[in-house]
Amino acid sequence: MLKNQRALGFALVFLSSLGFSMAPTFSKRAYESGANTVGVLIVRFTIAAVLMLLIRQSSSRQRVWPQPRLMLDLFLLGAIGYSGAAFFYFTAIEQMSTGVSIVIWYIYPVFVVLIGWAVFKTKPKRHTIFSLVSAMIGVAITAGQPGNATTKGIILVLLSSLTYTFYTLSGSHAFKKTDLYTGVTFVMAGAATTFWLYWLLTPSSTPVLFPNHISGWVWIATLAIFSTVLSTSALFAGLKILGPNTTSVVNTVEPVLIIVAGILFLNEVFSLQQGVGAVFVVGALVYLGVHETRSQIPVVLQ
């Protein structure tokens, strides 16, 4: 184990962002095989829920099921928080450019800091605020590009960002009361249930399409394992160490990683604008990391 738990927290949240940044690439490959957004999300979260349950049950440590109220809270984190943020965002990007949507969505760390301060009395540190401002500038430069954005699309992205804010803040408190494997299992089960209900209750005119080829199912399985189970587990493990404010700032590296993934795997072109934005984001994270890792806060990851 790393001597400084804060450094471990940074590494976990970065790993989480790396996994989530690959989600667009894996999803695009699944879409190429005939699947659509809801079809991919149903399979993604079902695989994730089953896999987490197997991991939990096969782990050597004896784990106790949480109290019914906590079970419900964790389930709703996935059913409303995770699935809601994903649904709003993927619906929005059908009506606006990805670059514009990313810039709007990444106001979420600001929401986390302000709502956490107002509701949970978690006053942000000066270096957190400085890093947040720098990271927001970097995200705007990195992802900012000319593009159309409808009023509906902007509202949906803001709803996604706000939903994810409460998902992060609520998760930081709920996961203090249970072990990591149990918590993530209920979150995945909640998200899977929501999309299954959507499929069963939605009008027949709304298509839910699954892959036509085995390669599409493989890409969704990769999405479920790497960009869902691993990423969500790393996120909540890091959140338990760093808290929501620092975690949300570290998450701003994700747009940079999305662009890198696009260049490496989708033949997208790198621009000077993206390079300048990346410098702001990475610089903010280095500055934040230097200040955060000076203090040792012992945390036990279960």
Cβ–Cβ under 8 Å, residues 104 and 162: no
100, 158 in Cβ contact below 8 A? no
Q: Which amino acid is at 300?
A: V
The distance from CA 257 to its chain's CA centroid, rounded to whole angstroms, is 13
pLDDT of residue 242: 85
Residues β-bridged to residue 149: 96
| C-beta neighbour count of 120 within 10 angstroms | 13
Residue in 240, 245, 299, 9 with CA at minimum distance from that of residue 119: 245
**pLDDT for the residue 45:** 95
Among the listed residues 300, 241, 290, the one whose alpha carbon sits nearest the alpha carbon of residue 127? 290
Spatial separation of the C-alpha atoms in residues 119 and 38, rounded to whole Å: 33
By CB atoms closer than 10 A (0-12, 13-18, 19+), residue 206 is: exposed
> d(Cα 227, Cα 257) in Å, to the nearest integer?
13
Q: Report d(CA 173, CA 122) in Å as an integer.
A: 12
How many other β-carbons are positioned within 10 Å of the β-carbon of residue 110? Answer: 17
Q: What is the pLDDT of residue 2?
A: 47
Q: How many helices (H) and strands (E) does the chain have?
A: 15, 0
- Output the tens digit of pLDDT for each of the chain's 302 residues: 444 787 888 889 989 988 888 887 888 888 889 998 888 999 999 999 999 999 998 886 777 888 999 999 999 999 999 999 888 887 776 666 666 667 677 777 777 777 777 776 777 777 777 776 776 677 667 655 555 557 777 788 888 888 988 898 888 889 889 999 999 999 999 999 999 998 888 766 668 889 999 999 999 999 999 999 999 999 999 988 888 878 877 877 777 777 676 667 666 666 677 677 667 766 665 666 565 555 544 333 34
Which of 90, 18, 17, 39 shows the shortest CA–CA distance to 220?
A: 39
